[in-house]
């Protein structure tokens, strides 16, 4: 019986080009060039020889083992550095010589399954860090379609440093740094990932990564509030991760998604433009506190007039752990130009922050909506007079910023303190143009913890103001008077009959610091209201105001 073999499965009997794979792509094992996997001998020369032999587009394989290096390895364009896994392949160094792996032009390089390890792991309470280096483990001077995946990075000034290029993807990496601000000798990690630091970089994805640091041990730190002055707070541990998790200077198309950030010594993410910084998306991340005086996401330009634009901060979870300062903050220390424009902060959950939840200055063209901000001012470090600590959402000197449908206030389940100390809900301060708050819900806000209410186009007036002139955009004016003076409210002018607004005492201090409405109300000139937590509705009849609701 004859067995028929289908034509497409007929064995090939012609000549085989044995050099075919070699011509397309060199596949190199560093052991073949004398690299020592035991970590006893210096493998720098052997690994560099393997890199050179692989050439452009080559593959350099690192089997399981520890490879000791003492000088910068210079990668070639589009090479692949493939390890056996982060618990198996370690590139280890101990001296201060600069970058561990540097690409002048990375091309479409790939780095996978390698643990980059510098020096030793410092013990909790360490005061010095041996072999400190301010360079990077992986440094790309330029590149396109670079992939760094399933790698670990321990110590160094930077874990991954991107100068310029496009289409970078950093995924499933563990990035650990050391920057203990309380110990000058234990400061090394400027940032785990830096992008656009010396030039312009675009289309960068940072996904599903873990950013952390070592536990620096218990410490007492001094926190200063404007009304209570310096106070010493004991933190059970001081997590001394890199100074920043991600630091972005000049970039376009930056995505940070699905990552964990824990214990950076300053901010988890710092957007600090010195040129164009646009199309930034920070989504679906977990922020497990940062420092006691820097926001977890901080926006602070280096040059007045450069600011992030087209920024989405959506669906993140922020846990201040009773000592992280603020969740999201912006500040321009150089002038009055915007700190951020065309932005959206939506759907975030923020809790247990030492200071205010969202604290923005000089914003322009943005939406802050559908966020839950609870247990801010969590250590009760101020009696509510310092807006850095006691506000759910604070917007100052802004234009075209809309604040709506946020849930603010509420306690925490902790013995330090026994309940949350949320004071003010939404504060719009300074000179603002078309900046409104609407439909925000306050739960347990105010010194008494009793204030609950819905706010439509609200303006919250806080001391030390002694007067407030309505613009006509407000449906509700809430007076939070924590100062020593009474406040006079001037209603809007040039309005049609039937215009209605509500005036409330939000701080429960009207009995001692009266609230006066300028004008005639039901025949009485400039009436004074002195009942704590009063709420009155006023309607304009064309000649005077009438009280139409209490």
Kindly report, residue by residue over 183-207, the tens digit of the pLDDT. 899 999 999 999 999 999 999 999 9
Strongest mean pLDDT among 106-110, 224-228, 287-291, 318-322 = 106-110
* Residue 18 confidence (pLDDT) above 50: no
343 Cβ contact partners less than 8 Å away, ≥ 6 residues apart: 308, 309, 310, 311, 312, 313, 363, 365, 366, 367
Kindly report, residue by residue over 103-137, the tens digit of the pLDDT. 999 999 999 999 999 998 888 888 898 899 999 99
* Residue 80 confidence (pLDDT) above 50: yes
Banded model confidence at residue 9, pLDDT cuts 50, 70, 90: very low
In whole angstroms, what is the distance from residue 157 CA to residue 43 CA? Answer: 23
Determine the pLDDT at residue 550: 86
Mean pLDDT of 135-143: 97
Sheet containing strand 515-517, edge to edge, reads 467-469, 487-490, 515-517, 528-529
Banded model confidence at residue 382, pLDDT cuts 50, 70, 90: confident
* Residue 492 confidence (pLDDT) above 90: no
Kindly report, residue by residue over 516-533, the tens digit of the pLDDT. 999 999 999 999 999 999
Q: In CATH terms, is domain 27-212 a member of 2.160.20.10?
A: yes
| Parts of the chain belonging to CATH 2.60.120.640 | 465-550
Mean pLDDT of 27-56: 97
Which CATH architecture describes the domain 465-550?
Answer: Sandwich (2.60)
Determine the pLDDT at residue 450: 35
Residue whose C-alpha is closest to residue 296's, from 274, 265, 341: 265
Kindly report, residue by residue over 160-173, the tens digit of the pLDDT. 999 999 999 999 99
In whole angstroms, what is the distance from residue 158 CA to residue 138 CA? Answer: 8
In whole angstroms, what is the distance from residue 373 CA to residue 179 CA? Answer: 29
This prediction has a pTM of 0.81
| Parts of the chain belonging to CATH 2.160.20.10 | 27-212
């Amino acid at each position: 019986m004859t067995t028929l073999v289908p034509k497409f499965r007929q064995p090939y009997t012609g000549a085989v080009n044995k050099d075919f794979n070699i011509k397309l792509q060199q596949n190199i094992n560093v052991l073949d060039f004398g690299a020592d996997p035991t970590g006893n001998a210096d493998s720098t020369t052997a690994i560099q020889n393997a890199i050179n032999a692989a050439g452009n587009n080559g593959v350099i394989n690192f089997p399981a083992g520890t490879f000791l290096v003492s000088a910068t390895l210079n990668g070639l364009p589009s090479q692949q550095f493939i390890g056996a896994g982060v618990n198996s392949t370690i590139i280890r160094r101990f001296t201060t010589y600069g970058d561990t792996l540097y690409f002048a032009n990375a091309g479409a390089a790939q780095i996978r399954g390698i643990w980059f390890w510098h020096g030793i792991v410092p013990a909790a309470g360490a005061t010095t860090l041996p072999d400190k280096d301010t360079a990077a483990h992986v440094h790309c001077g330029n590149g396109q379609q670079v992939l760094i995946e399933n790698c670990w990075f321990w110590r160094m000034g930077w874990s991954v440093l991107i100068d310029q290029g496009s289409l970078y993807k950093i995924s499933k990496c563990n990035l650990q740094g050391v920057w203990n601000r309380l110990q000058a000798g234990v400061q090394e990690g400027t940032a785990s990932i830096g992008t656009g630091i010396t030039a312009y970089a675009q289309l960068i994805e940072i996904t599903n990564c873990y950013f952390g640091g070592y536990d620096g041990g218990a410490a007492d730190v001094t926190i200063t509030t404007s009304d209570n002055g310096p106070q010493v707070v004991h933190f059970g541990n001081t997590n001394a991760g890199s100074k920043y998790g991600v630091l972005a200077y000049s970039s376009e198309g930056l995505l940070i998604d699905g990552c964990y950030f824990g214990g950076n010594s300053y901010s988890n993410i710092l957007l600090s433009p010195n040129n164009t910084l646009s199309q930034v998306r920070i989504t679906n991340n977990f922020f497990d506190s940062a420092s006691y005086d820097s926001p977890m996401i901080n926006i602070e330009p280096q040059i007045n007039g450069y600011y992030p634009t087209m920024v989405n901060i959506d669906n993140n979870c922020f846990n201040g752990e009773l000592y992280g300062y603020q969740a999201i903050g912006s500040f321009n220390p150089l002038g009055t130009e915007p700190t951020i424009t065309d932005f959206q902060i939506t759907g975030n959950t923020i809790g247990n922050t030492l200071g205010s939840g969202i604290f923005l200055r000089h914003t322009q063209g943005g939406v802050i909506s559908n966020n839950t901000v609870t247990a801010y001012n969590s250590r009760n470090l101020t009696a509510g007079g310092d807006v850095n600590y006691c506000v759910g959402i604070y917007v100052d000197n802004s234009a075209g910023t809309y604040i709506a449908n946020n849930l603010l206030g509420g306690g925490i389940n902790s013995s330090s303190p026994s309940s949350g100390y949320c004071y003010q809900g939404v504060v719009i301060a300074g000179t603002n143009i078309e900046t409104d708050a609407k439909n925000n819900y306050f739960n347990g806000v105010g010194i008494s913890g009793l204030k609950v209410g819905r706010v439509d186009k609200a303006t919250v007036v806080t001391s030390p103001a002694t007067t407030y002139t309505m613009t006509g955009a407000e449906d509700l004016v809430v007076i939070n008077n924590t100062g020593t003076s009474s406040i006079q409210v001037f209603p809007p002018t040039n309005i049609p009959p039937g215009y209605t607004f509500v005036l409330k005492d939000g701080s429960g201090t009207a009995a001692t610091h009266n609230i006066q409405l300028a004008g005639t109300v039901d025949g009485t000139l400039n009436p004074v209201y002195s009942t704590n937590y009063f709420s009155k509705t006023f309607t304009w009849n064309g000649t005077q105001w009438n009280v139409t609701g209490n």
